[in-house]
């Protein structure tokens, strides 16, 4: 049994998840820090001019004088932030496809080839405000600014293979007259997409954008949010203190199963939809456990996290409508990977670890660290884990592999020292390692007037 709860902390740009006991039942829990501002509202920037990005600012080699040291990766390309964004902006979304990447940039969705050249552009009426984590079948539902002051009131379906907009329509009605789609969260799986906003939610078909009904919840209950990917999950909570999690069949639109959460708690975060891994919290944001569920919606295990605190990147979410999309976690069918909070060594150097948990038993399998480095899980690779060693004050980052039994990470890609400053400047970024290429794509531009990177790509 774990002792008293450890207080939740909040770091700039990411939540620090304090793991604690759940009142004498099973250890341990995580919940989003309360009262944090929403970083995905971009309606106020909806009329910012589109970018005129061309090839990378420094070309394929990283620029004159930026000679690589032996063993360092090559800069495949770099894309600067649009100069038009002088007041800062949120630019959510980044996807790596075969031979190109796709990035929403204000009121456009742009694809860049492997050398940074523009492959295609889809124009929208206003700025993109919400996106799902993963497309399905090469097609992606995207939300952007609607009529008047509604910063997230329209939806469009983008064919990422052809660079074409297949349909464009208003989002389902927000609710009361004059209300808008505040805090829009978007999740996609198969032929369905789930939308949640402050005061409302909807499920639509990807093929035509039409609304479908998975079935009404009991009176006094409301949808908290969705998570997508390999399956579509919907979390809800009720006025009487009950709550639950549902899997929605992405072909029929019907509810496949419902997992009732113990009274007084609700699903606060959905880490993974297949296998299902979720965190619980009560109304006061006190943690209630991290649970693994089976494919049939039955309890599989509760993770035994002990008294350590963990720090995945789950973003800032004022309205509590974005339950999925945490970064810095990875999952395989039987293992869940979490990064710990940073600790300072005797000489003041920050270090973090990655802990691997057995989803069948909830017990910790191993821990891995590199002294003086922050480790960030990227994805499971069979029995191994691909992770990112973040840059330090004196060294660039690396992509590493950690074996099935833990141990010291093996370096797969050592990033160049000449771009360390720019790499470190991408504090809020999507990180993807795919087919030997490592991508860093910014989610937010400060608009301070200083040069900022939007995308950096590295290869061996």
Query: Domains in the chain, please, with CATH?
Result: 1-38+183-322 (2.40.128.630)
Q: Each residue of 370-381: pLDDT tens digit?
A: 989 999 999 999
What is the per-residue pLDDT for 177?
66
pLDDT of residue 85: 62
197: left (phi over 0), alpha (psi -120 to 50) or beta: beta
Mean pLDDT of 143-156: 94
pLDDT tens digit string along 226-267? 999 999 999 999 999 999 999 999 999 999 999 999 999 999
Q: Is residue 239 within 8 Å of residue 221, measured between CB atoms? A: yes
pLDDT at residue 83 in the model: 73
> What is the distance between the alpha carbons of residues 234 and 308, in angstroms, rounded to a whole number?
29
**Average pLDDT, stretch 316-327?**
89
Q: Give me the pLDDT at residue 315, please.
A: 83
Whether residue 123 has pLDDT greater than 70: yes
Q: What is the mean pLDDT of the chain?
A: 85
Tell me: pLDDT of 15 over 90.
Answer: no
Q: Where residue 416 falls among pLDDT bands split at 50, 70, 90?
A: very high
For the cut 80, the answer to whether the pLDDT of residue 3 exceeds it is: no
Non-local CB neighbours of 445 within 8 Å, separated by 6+ positions: 81, 82, 85, 88, 89, 91, 452, 454
Q: How confident is the model at residue 30, as a pLDDT? A: 38
- Stretch 81-107: mean pLDDT: 88
Residue 10 confidence (pLDDT) above 70: no
Position 84 confidence tier, pLDDT thresholds 50, 70, 90: low
Q: What is the pTM of this model?
A: 0.86
For residues 165-176, average pLDDT: 91
CA–CA distances in Å: residue 53 to residues 80, 117, 177, 312 = 7, 9, 39, 32
Q: What is the mean pLDDT of residues 353-376?
A: 95
Specify the higher pLDDT residue, 101 or 45. 101
| Percentage of residues in the chain having pLDDT higher than 90 | 69
CA 376 to chain centre: 13
Average pLDDT, integer, range 401-415: 96
Cβ distance 374 to 390 under 8 Å?
yes
Whether 396 shows a pLDDT value over 80: the answer reads: yes
């Amino acid at each position: 049994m774990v002792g008293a709860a450890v207080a939740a902390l909040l770091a700039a740009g990411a939540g620090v998840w304090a793991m604690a006991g759940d009142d004498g039942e099973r250890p341990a829990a995580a919940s989003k820090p309360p009262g944090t501002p929403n970083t995905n509202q971009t309606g106020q920037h909806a009329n910012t001019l589109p970018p005129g990005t061309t090839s990378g600012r420094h070309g394929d080699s990283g620029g004159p004088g930026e000679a690589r040291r032996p063993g360092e990766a090559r800069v495949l390309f770099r894309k600067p932030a649009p100069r038009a964004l002088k007041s800062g902006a949120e630019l959510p979304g980044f996807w790596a496809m075969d031979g190109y990447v796709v990035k929403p940039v204000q009121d456009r969705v742009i694809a860049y080839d492997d050398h940074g050249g523009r492959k295609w552009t889809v124009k929208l009426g206003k700025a993109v405000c919400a996106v799902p984590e993963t497309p399905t079948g090469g097609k992606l539902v995207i939300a952007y600014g609607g009529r008047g002051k509604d910063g997230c009131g329209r939806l469009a379906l983008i064919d990422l293979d052809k660079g074409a907009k297949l349909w464009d329509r208003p989002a389902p009605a927000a609710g009361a007259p004059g209300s808008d789609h505040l805090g829009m969260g978007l999740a996609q799986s198969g032929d369905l997409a789930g939308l949640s906003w402050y005061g409302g939610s909807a499920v639509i078909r990807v093929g035509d954008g039409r609304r479908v009904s998975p079935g009404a919840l009991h009176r006094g209950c409301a949808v908290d949010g969705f998570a997508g990917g390999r399956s579509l999950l919907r979390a809800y909570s009720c006025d009487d203190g009950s709550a639950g999690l549902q899997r929605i069949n992405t072909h029929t639109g019907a509810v496949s199963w419902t997992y009732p959460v113990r009274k007084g708690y609700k699903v606060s975060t959905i880490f993974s939809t297949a296998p299902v891994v979720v965190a619980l919290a009560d109304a006061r944001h006190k943690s209630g456990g991290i649970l693994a569920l089976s494919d049939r919606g039955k309890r599989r295990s509760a993770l035994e996290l002990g008294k350590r605190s963990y720090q995945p990147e789950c973003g800032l979410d004022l309205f509590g409508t974005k339950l999925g999309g945490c970064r810095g976690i990875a999952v395989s069918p039987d293992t869940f990977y979490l990064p710990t909070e940073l600790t300072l060594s005797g000489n003041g150097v920050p270090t973090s670890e990655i802990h691997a948990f057995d989803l069948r038993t909830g017990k910790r399998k191993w821990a891995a660290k590199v002294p003086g480095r922050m480790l960030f899980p990227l994805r499971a690779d069979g029995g191994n884990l691909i992770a990112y060693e973040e840059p330090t004050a004196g060294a660039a980052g690396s992509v590493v592999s950690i074996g099935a039994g833990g141990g010291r990470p093996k370096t797969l890609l050592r990033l160049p020292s000449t771009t360390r400053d720019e790499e470190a400047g991408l504090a809020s970024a999507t990180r993807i390692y795919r087919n030997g290429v490592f991508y860093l794509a910014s989610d937010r531009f400060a608009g301070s007037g200083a040069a900022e990177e939007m995308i950096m790509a590295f290869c061996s």
